[in-house]
Structures are given as structure tokens and as C-alpha cells.
Amino acid sequence: MFKGSLVALVTPFQNGQVDQEKLRELVNFHLERGTDGLVPCGCTGEAFTLSFEERGEIIKAVVEEVRGRIPVIPGTGSSSTQVAIELTREAKRRGADGVLVISPFGNKPNPEGIYNHYAHIAKEVQIPIVLYNVPSRTGKGIPPEVVTKLSKISNIVGIKEASGSLDQVSHILSSCEITVLSGDDSLTLPMLSIGAQGVISTVANLVPQDMAGLVDAFFQGDLERARELHFKLFPLIKALFLEGNPIPLKGAMKLAGLLNGELRPPLAPLSVGNLDFLKRAMADYGLIEG
């Protein structure tokens, strides 16, 4: 259902508040550069710092600006199943095309608990759901056998795989037909090669045309062009994960003139040494002057 280069959209802030004007500007930036879908209110969007009301207003603004041209799939995950249901219900009310639901973080449920969490959400809200496996943030991965079981629920349509494991992706794709989207920018091409259908990307906030170009080239059978873009993007991707996402990303977008770089506490700006490294990577890419 969802495929291509989808962007894990940053949340722009101005003096501590969501900058709605800049948010709409970013939506059009992506529409003009080949992005296939937008994923606001995820980890890259600092969702854990957003209120329920802010999430609703962000989704509303993105949906209004997109006007049905590409899918909008906001993050609606929570450690609480009931809160995740409420967030998912709100996303549907605001016109989202689907939702991205991170597995419960902090409380580390067992496999049965993970299954029940997603099954309850899917039962309560009839909207396409993309699972989100990111054990580096949640402390607990979604086992492949749980993904296989969840894939039998009709409105669970995909999984964003950010485990960093091609074995995990291989287990999933060999056991069920759920759509896999890469959640690790640097593994997008390898994941596509074994059956993933696209990526929910961080680096595409900065260079959407190149990540979209990589995915398009792969599906057009131009593997040499896809490899060329993979190796071009690789050093920049690594620089964007020198510290916790989206700290380097917002620093990079500020350097590129796309954002003011404001983060919401407890996130703090990139350290000086890592900022110098990021500047070199951006200069090598041609995004800023060296």
C-alpha cells in the first residue's frame, strides 16, 4: 500500500511553539522534490515532546497542504495501548491515510504483549497501520514471528524496520507478505534488494530528491544509478547520526537554510566537535561551502 521514499518529517519550532507556517513550507518542499509520502509526528519529529493537541494540529496542517497528492502517515505510538488508540483515532479524524505505530517503549512487553498492543489498536481504529520496530529507542524488538502473526490482521499493512538487521528483514519477508519499509537510511538499498518496498527516511528531510532517486532507480532496474546514489548518500547519513536523531539533522537543516534548527528540550544542539564533522560531510556533498 505504501512504497517509495517517505520522509520522517521534522517538526519545526519557533520560540518553543510548533511553527505551522514553516511546517507547510516543508510539505511543499517535499512535494516539489519527488517525495512519495510524509510521516509527521514520529521520532524524527520529536513526537515524545508533542502534546495531543499539537499532534492533531500538525497532522491537520500536513493533510491540508498535501491535498491528497501523497500519503500522510503520522506517528501515533505510545507506551500505553489506550493512548495509542486515542492518538490513532485522532489521526484518522484529521484525515491521515495511515499511521505509524512504534512498539511500546520503556515497559518492555513480552511477545504476547506486543501482539496484543497492536491487535487492540487495529481492532479499535479501522485505518492502515504500519508497525515500527526500532529497538534502539524502545529497548525491545518486535520478533519476526509476531510480525508474521500481526500481518494476518487486515489493516496492519506494513512495518518500518529499523532494527539494523537484514536477518530480521529476511525472516519477515520469507514468512509473510507484509510491506517492509527501511527505517535505516544506510540499509535502504540492501533492504530493497531482498524485497523491501521503500524507506521512511531521515536524510530525505535534507536531500529528498536523492533518496527518492535511489528508490526510483532501483524499481526501474537501474541498479548502477541506485548504487551511485547509495554511496553518495552514505557519508551524509552517517554524519546525521553522530548524536541522537534529529539533533544532527536539525543542525544540518539550519546550515542548509531550511530551518532555524530549534529543538525541544530535553534535546540540545549538536556538540562542537560533531558539528565540525557534520559541516565537512555537508561540504563534501555540496550542500554548503567548505
Catalytic residues: 132, 160
Question: Which residues are within 8 A (CB) of 18 and not within 5 positions of it... i.e. 6 or more apart?
Answer: 11, 12, 50, 54, 57, 58
Write the single-letter amino acid at 176.
C
Residue 233 is given by DSSP the state H
Q: Output the DSSP codes for 117-183.
A: HHHHHHHHS-S-EEEEE-HHHHSS---HHHHHHHTTSTTEEEEEE-SS-HHHHHHHHHH--PEEEES
> Could you identify the residue written with the cell 540499509?
187
Give the CA dihedral 258, 262, 267, 273, nearest 10 degrees.
Answer: 60
> Could you identify the residue written with the cell 526501474?
220
Q: What region does 15 belong to: left with phi over 0, alpha with psi -120 to 50, or beta?
A: left
| Closest alpha carbon to 174 in 201, 198, 157, 151 | 151
Dist. CA 75–CA 72, nearest whole Å: 10
